[in-house]
Amino acid sequence: MITLSIIKADTGGFVGHTAVHPDMIAEARHRVEHMVDSELLIDGHVASCGDDMSLIMTHQHGPDARLIHSFAWDTFQATTHIAQRLGLYGAGQDLLSDAFSGNLRGMGPGYAELEFEERPSEPVICFLADKTEPGAWNLPLYKMFADPFNTAGLVIDAKMHAGFEFEVYDLFEEKRIFFDCPADLYDLLMFIGAPARYVVHGVRSKTLDQTAAATSTQRLSLIAGKYVGKDDPVMIVRCQSGLPAVGEALEPFSFSFTVGGAMRGSHHAPLMPVSAEDSHPARFDGPPRVVALGFQVHEGRLIGPRDLFADPSFDEARRQANHAMDYLRRHGPFEPHRLPLEDLEYTTMPQLAARLADRWSPMTTALAEQEAPITP
């Protein structure tokens, strides 16, 4: 069995929250190469999207492995030191804990991991996003694995016709549920159509009995009345031979759908599919970006990547994203551009509520005064 792990963190931005500094990438590459030489990893690739760095690694230690997670933790600490030395923005911002304790759960970095028996040819896509949240994968995963208007194979490939099983997390109550699609399609949509709370964690082929997709679903913690821990997400999708074709896995991104994120993590904005080179959200800390790196995994080695959105057929989606961004921006601080109060990453509401508490009075008093009988 092979495990493909993407472990990612923002350990400092260059400039502001727009990109990862080349020295940080170089340090991570050097460490990954060293671990390949010393055989902890079979192979590794370092990539970035916006201010997030991803370690894409193959190994035989399984998901949640202490050795792999602690290697990633040490690497992110080393890149944090570089960010500190260069005075980069938000150095170490995703390292929430002081010490590593077993695995990365709840420690800040996000990760998607998928363990599988390598097929004779194993095409995979690593999706990396910046300035959005894990629920951003709900809509594209639904289209890839449940919508025949997106994925022709659901209708015409005998290995796909029986459908897929979706594992969905409730991030508020920390519980999970499985939906058997197509039978449970409408039930599934009721939940994952609310992506701030319900997030697809994985997808499984019923015919092949194999996991096809995994996302970095973060646990949310309720701190001071507000959920924190939403993070720029990554996702792994295995393709072909009874799973969505590469083109079916990319097709959902030809529509620049709206996600929560962008400026201060507090706005709806379109998700723009871009090449790795264009993955630096600058306008209003957006529009949120997604990069798709394709690999052939062979004997655990990562053959690639191919930069799959570096393709003119996604130009229209990019244009659409710019138009949608213009449209949404004109709403300024009004919903639906600004997120609903409960989903804001930044809020001044508790202070405002305290300061203005005395200035509120019951509406009923004013009404009662108006309706009081007029005495002659």
Which residues are annotated as catalytic? Answer: 10, 227, 230
Bond into 336 cis (ω within 30) = yes
String of contacts with Mg ion for each residue 32-61, x by CB under 5 A: ------------------xxx---------
By beta carbon distance, the residue nearest ligand F6R is 285
Tell me: does residue 27 bind Mg ion (CB under 5 A).
Answer: no
Q: Choose between 17 and 280: whose C-beta lies nearer to ligand F6R.
A: 17
Q: Which does 130 bind (CB under 5 to 8 A by kind): Mg ion, ligand F6R, none?
A: Mg ion
6, 9, 10, 110: which one binds Mg ion (CB under 5 A)? 10
CA Rg, the chain, in Å? Answer: 22
Q: Choose between 16 and 62: whose C-beta lies nearer to ligand F6R.
A: 16
C-alpha to C-alpha distances, 65 to 103, 115, 345, nearest whole angstrom? 7, 12, 31
Q: Which does 230 bind (CB under 5 to 8 A by kind): ligand F6R, Mg ion, none?
A: none
8, 17, 143, 338: which one binds ligand F6R (CB under 6 A)? 17
Q: Render the burial of 134-143: b for 16+ CB within 10 Å, e for the rest.
A: bbbbbbbbbb
Minimum distance from residue 232 beta carbon to Mg ion (Å): 4
Count interface residues toward ligand F6R (CB under 6 A): 8
Q: Which does 265 bind (CB under 5 to 8 A by kind): ligand F6R, Mg ion, none?
A: ligand F6R
Q: Under rule CB under 6 A, which residues in 277-316 are in contact with ligand F6R?
A: 285
Two tokens, residue 245 = 């074709």
String of contacts with ligand F6R for each residue 113-132, x by CB under 6 A: ------------------x-
Tell me: does residue 248 bind Mg ion (CB under 5 A).
Answer: no
Tell me: does residue 285 bind Mg ion (CB under 5 A).
Answer: no
Tell me: does residue 17 bind Mg ion (CB under 5 A).
Answer: yes
Q: Which does 52 bind (CB under 5 to 8 A by kind): ligand F6R, Mg ion, none?
A: Mg ion
Q: Choose between 90 and 182: whose C-beta lies nearer to ligand F6R.
A: 90
Count interface residues toward Mg ion (CB under 5 A): 9
Q: Choose between 136 and 302: whose C-beta lies nearer to ligand F6R.
A: 136
Q: Is 12 exposed, middle or buried (0-12, 13-18, 19+ CB in 10 A)?
A: buried
Tell me: does residue 281 bind Mg ion (CB under 5 A).
Answer: no
Q: Choose between 6 and 91: whose C-beta lies nearer to ligand F6R.
A: 91
Q: Choose between 160 and 274: whose C-beta lies nearer to Mg ion.
A: 274
Q: Under rule CB under 5 A, which residues in 213-232 are in contact with Mg ion?
A: 232
Q: Under rule CB under 6 A, which residues in 210-269 are in contact with ligand F6R?
A: 263-265
Q: Output 182-187 pairs: Cβ under 8 A, ≥24 positions apart.
A: 182/146, 185/146
Q: Under rule CB under 5 A, which residues in 110-139 are in contact with Mg ion?
A: 130
Judged by the rule CB under 6 A, the positions of this chain that interact with ligand F6R are 16-17, 90, 131, 263-265, 285
Judged by the rule CB under 5 A, the positions of this chain that interact with Mg ion are 10, 13, 17, 50-52, 90, 130, 232
